């Protein structure tokens, strides 16, 4: 599985800590991690609004399979990611949130709080959240006897979101402020992840046209 980690300006200084814990869990599972957001406070400036655009491009192009995002509370990042078609982002504060999201909702993105509650033992909480999010059978249900209705409801939710976003994906991106999109895609590590792994030439060409 290809996993993108993306962090915005308010919590960029914590990127090395978050990245280290994610790689600690992901590497033994043979998952590949791409650190596509801000790596420190002096990096290419991003807000949680940009994270939503970045996540949607990577998910819809199938450049990555899963996104770990966040902000101070995690709420803004969750709202931003969920604005976009094809992105199903959960909110995660502790390992049980990650486990239940994995088992019940089987989405493709998580928003974490990198400031709220980020104190003593934060790196342990990150490690355990990543373990629960990235291991086990996805969509297995919890409790197990609830699997059938949970899988059904997750499917209905996907259908509803698809119906509400019937416009062409690229047309919808082109309808918003293009300077906002350009800022979101300007980072070199984001571009490398997208261009090397994208399975959608239309999305690739669109992003290249913005940075030409």
Q: In the prediction, which pLDDT does 43 show?
A: 95
Residues 12-63 have pLDDT tens digits of 999 999 999 999 999 999 999 999 999 999 999 999 999 999 999 999 999 9
Domain segments of the chain as ranges: 2-211
| Cα–Cα distance, 126 to 17 (Å, whole number) | 9
Q: In the prediction, which pLDDT does 69 show?
A: 98
Q: In the prediction, which pLDDT does 68 show?
A: 98
Q: In the prediction, which pLDDT does 133 show?
A: 96
Residues 81-136 have pLDDT tens digits of 999 999 999 999 999 999 999 999 999 999 999 999 999 999 999 999 999 999 98
Q: In the prediction, which pLDDT does 80 show?
A: 97
| Cα–Cα distance, 81 to 87 (Å, whole number) | 6
Tell me whether residue 184 is exposed, middle or buried, using C-beta atoms within 10 angstroms of its C-beta: 0 to 12, 13 to 18, 19 or more. buried
Q: Is residue 48 within 8 Å of 76, Cβ to Cβ?
A: yes
Q: Is the pLDDT of residue 154 over 80?
A: yes
Q: Is the pLDDT of residue 144 over 90?
A: no
| Cα–Cα distance, 148 to 154 (Å, whole number) | 10
Q: In the prediction, which pLDDT does 32 show?
A: 98
The model's pTM: 0.94
In the CATH scheme, what is the code of domain 2-211?
A: 3.40.1400.10
| 163 confidence band (pLDDT: 50, 70, 90) | confident
What are the φ/ψ torsions at residue 12 (nearest 5 degrees)? -60, -30
Q: Is residue 210 within 8 Å of 182, Cβ to Cβ?
A: yes
Cβ-based neighbour number of residue 22 at 10 Å:
22
């Amino acid at each position: 599985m290809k996993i993108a980690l993306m962090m915005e300006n308010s919590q960029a200084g914590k990127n090395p800590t978050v990245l280290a814990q994610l790689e600690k869990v992901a590497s033994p599972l043979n998952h590949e991690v791409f650190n596509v957001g801000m790596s420190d406070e002096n990096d290419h400036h991003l807000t949680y609004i940009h994270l939503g655009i970045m996540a949607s491009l990577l998910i819809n192009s199938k450049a990555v399979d899963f996104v770990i995002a966040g902000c101070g509370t995690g709420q803004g990042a969750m709202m931003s990611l969920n604005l976009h078609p094809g992105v199903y982002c959960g909110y995660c504060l502790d390992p049980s949130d990650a486990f239940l999201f994995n088992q019940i909702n089987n989405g493709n993105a998580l928003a974490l709080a990198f400031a709220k509650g980020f104190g003593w033992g934060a790196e342990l909480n990150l490690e355990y959240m990543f373990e629960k999010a990235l291991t086990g059978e996805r969509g297995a249900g919890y409790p197990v006897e609830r699997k059938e209705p949970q899988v059904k409801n997750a499917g209905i939710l996907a259908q509803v979101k698809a119906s509400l976003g019937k416009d062409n994906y690229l047309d919808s991106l082109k309808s918003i402020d293009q300077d906002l999109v350009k800022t979101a895609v300007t980072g070199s590590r984001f571009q490398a992840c997208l261009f090397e792994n994208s399975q959608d030439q239309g999305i690739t060409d669109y992003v290249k046209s913005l940075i030409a």
